[in-house]
């Protein structure tokens, strides 16, 4: 089986964090922290997979428990850390400047990750797709697929036989050769694919092409994707996945000729609100309002977008952490829920945060989250501020939704000092994250 991409989840008094899914009643405590898009864009809506703004979930789709969500998040994080440490032409029609798709939390369809709705085929069939910056190959579940091989999803399975623009990718061609680590032999002269994710989930099937319609004026003709006939693991609710990684087979890679390889997204802070995913656009990561840092590359894991974390402050005070602890870089990953820090950095953050929370009663740890509080008796809670400092001085000052999740500090320790860290989706919420050429920009309060 080929090496693998990943998956993840969420934060505090709204819904939860971690790597895949989880549901639990939470108090509506008000939490505070102590001290737009280009007009030519078409819009893709980004929502949480479990959120009320996500497409309605079929009644048979149950959300996972918090414990399952955190375990899956841990498996994904461990996979990314292992991978990093070891580590065909499309024609577009419509607007070429930018395409923006609304994005949302997928809470109501069984996941704590984020989804967009696009259309696949001719005539177009709506598909609810999880967005993933930590993987490349896009795929949907396809007919024919036995009940034992495909999981329950929101929409009917995509049927390539009903699309006049679908074409199977033949073996021996350049598109099949371009699959690289996702290749999985041939079946009846059709190119096969397989993707294994960090949480143990996987998908396999045949490689094909069809028209992917992002908005009323933006379509990708000949979009290459996996037509999945056998899936397993923690996949649920979604119709498939939209890969936004750095390899040529990703949506970003396939549309680079039209949109320049730049993209941005904003993850909403609550299931009841929406964000967006934009391909291209006039703004750059260095535009006004963005905190900009250098984009780095790992030769052993070319899929990932990597930045350099250099420091952390709590309550306005810089933590004493050796610079060497951050030397491994930090993966910006929408699929990991909880940010992973080098052990020395996490220990310093945890100590400072606990010192700033002595007014509130502590609670039992929740899986990998070991700094938790019982806030049920409080109508308002004030948290010490937390800011992440990146190279070039770019600073991300987190809101309450980026600090607490499930009533716990939404950070955990990674493998070792000097190793890779991961910036999870909890800490990215409400920022516009723009990846453009050799830089990454963060603009606060964008959705």
Residue 362 in tokens:
């502590």
Inter-residue contact 138 to 243 (CB < 8 Å): yes
Inter-residue contact 60 to 4 (CB < 8 Å): no
On the CB side of 273, CA atoms within 13 Å amount to: 13
Beta bridge partners, 377, equal none
Inter-residue contact 10 to 54 (CB < 8 Å): no
Sign of the alpha-carbon dihedral angle for 431, 433, 434, 439: positive
What are residue 81's phi and psi, to 5 degrees?
A: -65, -40
Inter-residue contact 31 to 11 (CB < 8 Å): no
230 Ramachandran zone, left/alpha/beta (phi>0; psi -120 to 50): beta
Q: CA 375, CA 367: separation in Å to the nearest integer?
A: 18
On the CB side of 174, CA atoms within 13 Å amount to: 4
Q: CA 431, CA 334: separation in Å to the nearest integer?
A: 12
Q: CA 368, CA 308: separation in Å to the nearest integer?
A: 24
CB atoms within 10 A of CB 353: 19
Q: CA 366, CA 60: separation in Å to the nearest integer?
A: 27
Residue found under tokens 């000092």: 417
Q: CA 169, CA 209: separation in Å to the nearest integer?
A: 7
Asked about 132 being catalytic, the answer comes back as: yes
Q: Which of 132, 155, 199, 218 is catalytic?
A: 132
Q: Which of 136, 218, 333, 401 is catalytic?
A: 333
3-state secondary structure string, 199-249?
Answer: CCCEEEEEEEEEEEEEECCEEEEEEEEEEEEEEECCCCECCEEEECCCCCC
Q: CA 12, CA 371: separation in Å to the nearest integer?
A: 13
Q: CA 428, CA 291: separation in Å to the nearest integer?
A: 13
Q: CA 121, CA 127: separation in Å to the nearest integer?
A: 10
Residue found under tokens 């989250």: 369
Q: Any idea how long the chain is?
A: 447
Asked about 218 being catalytic, the answer comes back as: no
Q: CA 41, CA 28: separation in Å to the nearest integer?
A: 35
Catalytic residues: 132, 333
């Amino acid at each position: 089986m080929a090496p693998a991409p990943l998956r993840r989840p969420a934060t505090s008094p709204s819904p939860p964090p971690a790597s895949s899914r989880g549901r639990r009643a939470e108090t509506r405590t008000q939490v505070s922290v102590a001290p737009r898009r280009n007009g030519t864009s078409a819009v893709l809506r980004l929502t949480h997979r479990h959120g009320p703004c996500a497409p309605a979930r079929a009644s048979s789709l149950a959300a996972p428990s918090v414990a399952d969500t955190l375990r899956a998040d841990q498996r994904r994080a461990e996979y990314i850390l292992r991978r990093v440490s070891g580590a065909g032409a499309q024609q577009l029609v419509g607007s070429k400047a930018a395409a923006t798709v609304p994005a949302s939390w997928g809470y109501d369809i069984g996941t704590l990750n984020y989804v967009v709705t696009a259309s696949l085929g001719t005539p177009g069939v709506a598909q609810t797709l999880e967005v993933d910056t930590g993987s490349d190959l896009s795929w949907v579940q396809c007919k024919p697929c036995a009940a034992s091989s495909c999981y329950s999803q929101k929409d009917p399975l995509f049927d390539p036989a009903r699309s006049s623009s679908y074409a199977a990718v033949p073996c021996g061609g350049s598109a099949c050769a371009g699959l690289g680590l996702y290749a999985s032999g041939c079946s009846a002269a059709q190119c096969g694919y397989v993707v294994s994710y960090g949480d143990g989930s996987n998908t396999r099937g045949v490689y094909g092409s069809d028209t992917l319609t992002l908005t009323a004026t933006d379509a990708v003709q000949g979009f290459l994707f996996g037509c999945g006939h056998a899936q397993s693991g923690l996949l649920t609710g979604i119709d498939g996945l939209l890969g936004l990684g750095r390899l040529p087979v990703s949506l970003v890679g396939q549309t680079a000729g039209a949109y320049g390889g730049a993209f941005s997204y904003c993850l909403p802070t609550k299931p009841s609100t929406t964000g967006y995913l934009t391909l291209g656009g006039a703004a750059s990561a260095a535009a006004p309002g963005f905190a900009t840092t250098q984009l780095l590359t790992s030769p052993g894991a070319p899929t990932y977008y990597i930045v350099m974390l250099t420091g952390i402050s709590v309550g306005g005070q810089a933590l004493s952490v050796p610079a060497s602890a951050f030397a491994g870089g930090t993966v910006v990953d929408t699929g990991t829920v909880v940010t992973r820090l080098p052990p020395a950095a996490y220990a310093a953050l945890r100590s400072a945060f606990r010192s700033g929370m002595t007014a509130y009663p502590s609670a039992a740890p929740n899986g990998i989250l070991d700094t938790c509080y019982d806030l049920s008796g409080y109508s308002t809670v004030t948290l010490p501020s937390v800011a992440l400092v990146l190279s070039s001085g770019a600073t991300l000052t987190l809101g309450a939704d980026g600090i607490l999740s499930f009533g716990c500090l939404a950070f955990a320790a990674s493998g070792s000092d000097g190793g890779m860290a991961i910036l999870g989706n909890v800490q990215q919420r409400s920022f516009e994250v723009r990846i453009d050429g050799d830089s990454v920009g963060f603009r606060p309060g964008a959705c």
